[in-house]
Chains A and B, each alone.
Chain A
Amino acid sequence: MEKPNRGLQILNIASAGLLVVATGLVFLYAPQERTMGEVQRIFYFHVPSAWVSFLAFLVTFVAGIAYLRGGNRRWDIVARSSVEVGLLFTVMTIITGSIWARPAWNTWWTWDPRLTTYTIMALIYVAYIMLRQGLEDPERRARFAAVYGIVGFISVPITFMSIRWWRTIHPVVIGSGSATAQGGFDMTSRMLVTFLFSLFTFTVLYFCFLANRVRLENLAERVEQLKAKLLSA
């Protein structure tokens, strides 16, 4: 198997490095939060993870449009890889969120708007993968997946709005001191630094996973082509 190209190798190493630094910051540099204690540190993994999952699905949305416009298969590979990586981060978000929720709200789960919408979004992308699996013709598969990626992505904000018009208990993090939000907090500068670094790390991690996944997919395609050549020769 050929080695990944220089750029990818650098990215892999850089991501690992950033992750180490970020973890260090989270546990050693960031101060302990007043009301929630140590468990609050999960926030530095949970929120970036959630943002990155949205980024992943945004990439799928854009890649879908690009594919429909141009017909270039690379966009389909990116879209499909992004969904898989996005689902990975989605699961991470939900798990870290649950771990945080138990001590903070005394429950593993709640049907508040953000969680509910987030779950629905996850279901949409699972459906995306199932749609792909049910279709054999690769060209049709790519087209339909692109269409569903577009429709799914557009529906998420609308879903959020519709569910939000119920009461929420999910903490509103950045800057708000609203009384109805339990578990919210204002960030000191050290927390902000840690948070932003963590966000940056997770974003780099996303691109690292995406690039590796795309590379795998390209290799798989080459194998298929070689197989086809052998069979027809």
Chain B
Amino acid sequence: MSEVSSQKPVVNSQTEPVAAAPRPAKWTASDYWRLATDFFRAAGAVVWKDLAAELRSKELLSAMLVFSLLVVLIFNFALELERSRATLATVVSGVLWVTFIFAGTIGLNRSLAMEKDRGSLDGLLLAPVDRSAIYFGKTAGNLLFMALVEVIILPLLSVLFNLSLLHPLLLLVVLLGTLGYAAVGTLLASMAIHSRARDVMLPILLFPVAIPVLVASVKASAAILAAAGWDEIGPWVNLLIGYDVIFVAVAFMVFDYVVEE
């Protein structure tokens, strides 16, 4: 075995380390603060990177958007969508959520597959941050992309069905539902991309587990559009919040195991 024979000057012995300081033995409040800022800075960097790259290439968003429009079109012909006021709320709510879920699935799949194919997932994993920061950033990015598509689809559907979909409570439900879907979807997509049957694996894994989101979102949306009272809407909103909290927490805990090798 070798001995230290060469005496080249070693880097950074005189200057302060350029990268963030290592973890101390005893944690103080400022250490927790630093940990939190590291976490959010990394997660924010991931979101910013996804957004910046996407805005240049527009690969993902265009695919999601076009697909959504096609889904709406297909629904129009496949189901004789009645225009009667009585069932309109239910029908529109259903069309809305099926569209979001299909478009969202595409977005989730591609967003993570691109990272894996280019090998850039390693770049993320090499950074000295908690794995969950990567999860958080990826989920936020996916949520953002789905939201961008929804922002375009909602007014469109309003026009097509002659029914205002820009109700603030409805937007809240859309946000909560999308969050739940993105949270579980990002976790499962991270696994699905390694599978042989990669394209179908995500829907197979995700749909059964995301049923509560679908049910609650559709029911709540329909109730809101039908101008029902809070006791019809409330329980569904609570269910959505509960689902979001539970699954974000679970994802945080298991994400490490998904990305390590």
B196 interfacial by beta-carbon distance below 8 Å: yes
Q: Which of A46-54, A85-93, A138-146, A181-189 contacts B (4 or more CB under 8 A)?
A: A138-146
Using Cβ atoms and an 8 Å threshold, which residues of chain B touch A159? 208, 211-212, 215
A85 to B98, CA, bound (A): 34
A131, A154, A158, A162: the one within 8 Å of B195 (CB): A131
B258 touches A147 (CB 8 A): yes
Query: Which bracket fits the contact residues of B?
Result: 20 to 34
Using Cβ atoms and an 8 Å threshold, which residues of chain A touch B211? 120, 155, 159, 162-163
* CB contact list, B199-213 vs A, under 8 A: 201, 204-205, 207-209, 211-212
Q: Which of A13-21, A28-36, A122-130 contacts B (4 or more CB under 8 A)?
A: A122-130
B257 interfacial by beta-carbon distance below 8 Å: yes
Using Cβ atoms and an 8 Å threshold, which residues of chain A touch B254? 68, 147, 150-151
Secondary structure at chain A's binding surface: helix, strand, loop or mixed? Answer: helix
A124 to B191, CA, bound (A): 15
B112 interfacial by beta-carbon distance below 8 Å: no
Give, as a whole number of angstroms, the nearest-CB distance from B97 to chain A. 13
Q: Which of B61-69, B164-172, B239-247 contacts A (4 or more CB under 8 A)?
A: B239-247
Using Cβ atoms and an 8 Å threshold, which residues of chain B touch A135? 194-196
Give, as a whole number of angstroms, the nearest-CB distance from A165 to chain B. 6
A43 interfacial by beta-carbon distance below 8 Å: no
B196 touches A134 (CB 8 A): yes
Residue in chain A with minimal CB distance to B212: A162
A161 interfacial by beta-carbon distance below 8 Å: yes
A165 touches B235 (CB 8 A): yes
Given contacts A130-B201, A147-B257, A151-B250, contact A158 B212 (CB under 8 A): yes
A143 touches B258 (CB 8 A): yes
B198, B208, B215, B235: the one within 8 Å of A124 (CB): B208
Using Cβ atoms and an 8 Å threshold, which residues of chain A touch B188? 148, 151
Using Cβ atoms and an 8 Å threshold, which residues of chain A touch B204? 127, 130-131
Given contacts A68-B257, A152-B209, A162-B216, contact A144 B235 (CB under 8 A): no
Give, as a whole number of angstroms, the nearest-CB distance from B243 to chain A. 6
A147 to B205, CA, bound (A): 11
Residue in chain B with minimal CB distance to A64: B254
A162 to B254, CA, bound (A): 24
Using Cβ atoms and an 8 Å threshold, which residues of chain A touch B215? 159, 162-163
Using Cβ atoms and an 8 Å threshold, which residues of chain B touch A151? 184, 187-188, 209, 247, 250, 254
Using Cβ atoms and an 8 Å threshold, which residues of chain B touch A121? 208
A148 to B188, CA, bound (A): 8
Given contacts A130-B201, A151-B184, contact A144 B208 (CB under 8 A): no
A144 to B235, CA, bound (A): 33
A146 touches B257 (CB 8 A): yes
* CB contact list, A72-124 vs B, under 8 A: 120-121, 123-124
Residues of A within 8 A of B (CB): 68, 120-121, 123-124, 127, 130-131, 134-136, 140, 143-144, 146-148, 150-152, 154-155, 158-159, 161-163, 165
What are 27 pairs between A and B in contact, CB < 8 Å?
A: A68-B254, A120-B208, A120-B211, A121-B208, A124-B209, A127-B204, A127-B205, A130-B197, A130-B204, A131-B191, A131-B195, A134-B198, A140-B194, A140-B261, A144-B194, A144-B258, A148-B188, A148-B191, A148-B205, A150-B250, A150-B254, A151-B184, A151-B250, A154-B246, A158-B242, A159-B208, A159-B211
Nearest 8 A/B pairs, CB to CB? A134-B195, A162-B212, A162-B215, A155-B209, A123-B208, A134-B196, A124-B208, A144-B191
